[in-house]
Structures are given as structure tokens and as C-alpha cells.
Structure 1
Amino acid sequence: MLEGAAALKWGVERRLEFIEFRLFWEGGVNRSDIIEMFDVSVPQASKDLTLYQERAPHNAIYDKSAKRYVASAQFSPIFLKPDPDGYLSRLRSLAEGLTEPSESWIAHPPETDIALTPRRAVDSGVLQAILSAVREHRSIDVHYQSMSGKRADPMWRRMTPHAFGYDGLRWHARAYCHIDSKFKDFLLPRILGVRDMDRPGPGGDQDTLWQETFDIEIGPHPRLTPSQRAVVAKDYGMTKERAVLTVRYAMLFYVLKRLGLLSDASQQDPRTQHIVALNAAETARALKRAEFELDEAEQAPKVRGRA
């Protein structure tokens, strides 16, 4: 929270942040907005608005015709750090139906659509059990359906989970596999059942690929025009056409796949592949170092090597 809110109780601070959110992102706020969002009394909502004006006297002007406070030309937030990613995340959650409108703080969302992907069903009991195993540092039996082609039917496997990963489409548990004696990724939708927590195997502190990181250096595609390179640099937050992404080795394949950098991006069409790895040779070596034991052979080649 920004300076100016430290001396306030959490509930009051939250409501003042909401006032500022509405002023900044939607241009205005009124008393009924606070009442509906936080289920407070009329006097409390009025008190909140008065307090906000005391703390930020130049931020809001009362518009008599609209009967609400609107952002002034001198508006400068003190309770909210305006974050485009935060706002767009709320908008995305609304569009995907993951958040109720009353919970998003957005009163008048613009018409929005999302390039949806099918949701991968995760059993709540499975997730609860794996969370318990992580929290209590114990191993657990999972009834797992592999898609690698080695095993046609699901089988029980004992694992000691220590973390979770998300590749942009699916969640997996990062765990020590007691059968293969190595750390692997277990896709949550592929876990059909759980049973019997017991003594743990090696923990996350021994998962070298999870603990160690690699820096991917990215830049605009060299065959883009200067103006195109400039906008790509802006888009990715680059400085002097360079940005560094620090990635766990255990997540490296997923990140490179999403960025289109699994192969030599400089040989791809710059109209569709806008960035390249500036340290391509080092990145290729890092990928070879990492062991990826995904079960979907068509999605992740098994790259073997010492950790």
C-alpha cells in the first residue's frame, strides 16, 4: 500500500483503496458504490468519502449533476498503485466467469472476450490431498494416467510433492517420484485418485532443477524494421532492446515453448515470431541440462542430462 495509508485500519484502508480504484479506472465513485461493495451503513460510506477527501484533498471533485465524485485533473493516487496488469487480470476473471462482478471492483466493464482454452478438470479431493502432503512434507500414493505410451493404463505411484507449476494451460505438481527415483512433473488432471500418505522422500531443497535458475536474454527479431523493433521492446519492457527473464530450470521448457523459443527463433517469420533469444546457444545448453519428464510426448521431448 502506498504512503498515506499506513495509520489506517485494514478495512478502512481497503475502502479508501476502492474509492481510488473507481476514481482512477472508472472516473468516479459515489456513496452507494461503497455501500454495495462492502455492505456498510450510509453513515460509514459518507465517513469514508470524507476521510478520503481529507487524505487526498486534490483528487476528487463532487459532480452535482452526476451525484458522484469524479477524478480531478490533479488526481494523484496515494492508496492505490495503478497497475494495468492488475486491472486486466480482474477483467479477464470477469470474462472467464471466474469472478462475480461484485467482487471485481469494476462497475462498468467494457465488452470483453477471451481466447478460451478448455478447462482442465482437477478433482478437489486430489488437490486437497496433495496440498496436505506439501504442507506436512509427506509422500502420497497417486493413481496416475501416463500419456507417454509406456503404460496404457493408470497405475499407483508414490510421490513426495513440494511445489506447483503452471505452464499457462495446465497445473502440475512438482514431486519426487519414488518409482523413478527422480523429480518429475505430475499433471493434476491426470491424477485420478489419492491414498495413503506416508514418510517423505527427498524434499524440494534437493530438487536442483527447481532451485536453480537460468537467465533467458530476449530481444526483438533482427529482421523487424526499426519502428517494429521499438514497439516490441516497449511491449516486453526491454531496455536497449534487451530484457532478462529469470526462470527455474524445471520451468524452462514451458517458458521457451510459450515464447516460441524452443528452436532458433531468428530463422522464423518475424511477422509471427517477434522476439529471439539473444543468448540462444546458452539457452539451448540450459534446455539440454534440464530433464523434462512430462507425460505428453507430443508436448515435451524428453531431454536427458545430469542436473
Structure 2
Amino acid sequence: MLDSISFAQKQRLAYIDFCLLFKGAIYRQDLINRFQVGLSAGSRDFSIYKELAPDNLSYDSREKRYFQTPQFKPVFEHDARRTLTKLANDISDGFDAIGDIHFPVEAPSSLNVPDIFIVARLVQAILNNKAVSVIYTSLSSGSNARELVPHSIVDNGLRWHVRAFDRKSQSFRDFVLTRISKVTIKDTPNEDESAQADTEWQRLIPLQLVPHPKNVEHPTAIEMDYGMENKQLLIEVRAAMAGYLLRRWNVDCTERGTLKGAEYQLWLQNRFTLNNVQNLAIAPGYEAKGNGSGGGN
């Protein structure tokens, strides 16, 4: 049946499929607003989707919304890596499932590709403000059931993780998506478990990055690479993300810029801003007594 459907209609059906998978529900008006189609055309799209997958959605006349059913199986194949990148950039379309335009641009191969259904369940929980029960395998304790309250999915440069309140440790932590093997959506969390209570997430810290004083022979090249102004790059980053960014960019975080190697092209000039920031064990060259870790998973 899909072979006889136009490309434009496939896009709309993929959008319905995407919303059901990642949001758990969709209003008819969502489709109409997204594609600027009439009410009759929108209704026809839902009818066709219902023909393609009769067990995928149910209509709630009271809420006037279509909901994902427990039997849901996506009609289209949603690529996990592309979908995560789109979600990170606030693009919710599902178009990659029907073949995006191919541009001659390549990205590095990813060794860490999460299960799309695990991602979908976590996104649903975040969007609907729900806690989840998961099976999580950590380096320290192996596989165990945990209750989490997720609020953000993050690309840390090497792998994807979910930032969540961990009810076991009563703290906000980072959990690697590929180590989660099962997700069950649970209750509505308390306010002290929400993103607003995650102080490391809410706190922004300024980073003052400059060309490395010892490893870079021609600093102008680095200034051009990073769009520096006045020979420095000033950025604000969430405290919870600082360690990941500093590692991803190989920023020398030693007090006097003493790390050697061509990979260290940047130096953190205002190192003092990292005081009391957690999860800095991965920041190159950073050492501080009593500095704990917000991850450890």
C-alpha cells in the first residue's frame, strides 16, 4: 500500500508514526498545523495510517487525541542516530524514515547507537513528565532495576546518555543509553526530582578558551577555527556538561597549560570557574581535592 502513496503523504504518515513512537500521542490538529493541510486531508491521513497499522493507535474522543497502543509497532524504520541528532536540534518530523535528500557530507562512524525503542520510551517519559523503571547495567554493580526521573537526553561527544534523578542514590546522574535494556513508564515525579531541582544542570558557568600557549605555533589558525574574538572564545555551558565539552575539545585544564601533545590546541584560561563543579574527572589535566563525580555510571 505504501508503494502507491505519494511522497508528500508518506511524509505525513511518517510524522504520525514518529509522534506515536516518541510522544505516545498525536492530535489531528498537530498534523494539520505541521503540513498546512485541510481537516478532510488530515482525517484521510489518519484513516490510511489506521489501514496500514490498525493496532497502532486508538482514539480518545474525550481528549480528541490519538494514543499509542501497547501493541504499537512502527510502520516506518526510524534511524536511531539520525533521530537522536534531530531531537537534539528540536526537529520532530520522522522524515529520515522515508529517505531524506542525501548530501555529500559524512560524519564519523558511531560505535554507540542506542536502541530506538529505548530512546522513544525515555522521550515519552520526559515529554509527559513521568518517572521510569529501567534495567540498567553499570560498571560497578552490573544489571539492576532502577527508578529514574529523566529530564534530558544528551550527546556528550562519544555517546548518548540521559540526565535523570536516580531514586536509589537520591541524586541527579548521567545514564548511558546503550546500558538501558528495558523502560517502563511509571508515576508522576515530585518537584524535587524535576530538572528545575538539578542544580548542576541549571547552573551555567563561563569558560574562557584561548589557543594553547605552548603547543600551538600559529595561534591565529586556532582563533579562526573557533571564531575567537580578541584572541579568546567565551562560552557558557551547563555545569553538568562542562567535563564532557572540555574532553571533547581536548582543552588543557592544567593551571599553567602544561599538557603536551598536538591534540591540545586549547587552554582553559579561567580554570577557577570549575571550582565546585562535579563530574570533572574526564576534563584533561584537571585536578582538585574533594571534587566528586556526578556520574559514575
Q: TM-score, with normalisation over the residues of structure 1?
A: 0.55
How has the CA–CA distance of structure 1 residues 105 and 260 changed in structure 2, closer, same or farther, with 3 Å as cutoff?
closer
| Equivalent position SS for 1:104 | coil
Counterpart check, 1:239 vs 2:195: no
> Structure 1 CA distance, aligned partners of 2:109 and 2:185?
36
| Structure 1 residue 223, shift from structure 2 partner | 2.6
Q: Which residue of 2 aligns with 1:122?
A: 114
Give aligned-pair identity as a percent: 23
User: Which 5+ residue runs of structure 2 have no aligned equivalent?
Assistant: 1-7, 9-84, 86-94, 283-287
CA contact (8 A) 2:252 2:268 kept: no
> Structure 2 CA distance, aligned partners of 1:204 and 1:145?
23
How has the CA–CA distance of structure 1 residues 266 and 114 changed in structure 2, closer, same or farther, with 3 Å as cutoff?
same
> Structure 2 CA distance, aligned partners of 1:223 and 1:273?
9
Q: Which residue of 1 aligns with 2:129?
A: 137
Counterpart check, 1:259 vs 2:259: no
> Which one has a bigger Cα radius of gyration?
1
Amino acid at match of 2:258: Q
> Structure 2 CA distance, aligned partners of 1:170 and 1:246?
22
CA contact (8 A) 2:131 2:187 kept: yes
| Structure 1 residue 241, shift from structure 2 partner | 0.8
Please, what is the CA RMSD of the aligned residues? Answer: 3.4
Aligned counterpart in structure 2 of residue 203 of structure 1, from 194, 197, 200: 194
Provide the aligned length of Structure 1 versus Structure 2.
Answer: 194
Structure 1 moving runs of 4+ over 6 Å: none
Q: Which residue of 2 aligns with 1:216?
A: 207
Counterpart check, 1:162 vs 2:159: no
Q: Aligned runs of 1:16-35 on 2, under 5 Å?
A: none
| Equivalent position SS for 1:184 | strand
> Structure 1 CA distance, aligned partners of 2:157 and 2:189?
29
Aligned counterpart in structure 2 of residue 290 of structure 1, from 275, 278, 281: 278
CA contact (8 A) 1:160 1:175 kept: yes
Which whole-Å deviations, capped at 9, do the CAs of 1:161-205 have from their partners, x for residues lacking one?
111111112111111111111111111101011124113141111
How has the CA–CA distance of structure 1 residues 113 and 195 changed in structure 2, closer, same or farther, with 3 Å as cutoff?
closer
CA contact (8 A) 2:119 2:177 kept: yes
Q: Which residue of 2 aligns with 1:34?
A: none
> Structure 2 CA distance, aligned partners of 1:292 and 1:175?
18
How has the CA–CA distance of structure 1 residues 130 and 224 changed in structure 2, closer, same or farther, with 3 Å as cutoff?
closer
Q: Aligned runs of 1:41-120 on 2, under 5 Å?
A: 103-104=100-101, 106=103, 109=104, 115-118=108-111, 120=112
| Structure 1 residue 104, shift from structure 2 partner | 3.4
CA contact (8 A) 2:252 2:264 kept: no
Amino acid at match of 2:129: H
Amino acid at match of 1:128: A
| Structure 1 residue 99, shift from structure 2 partner | 6.7
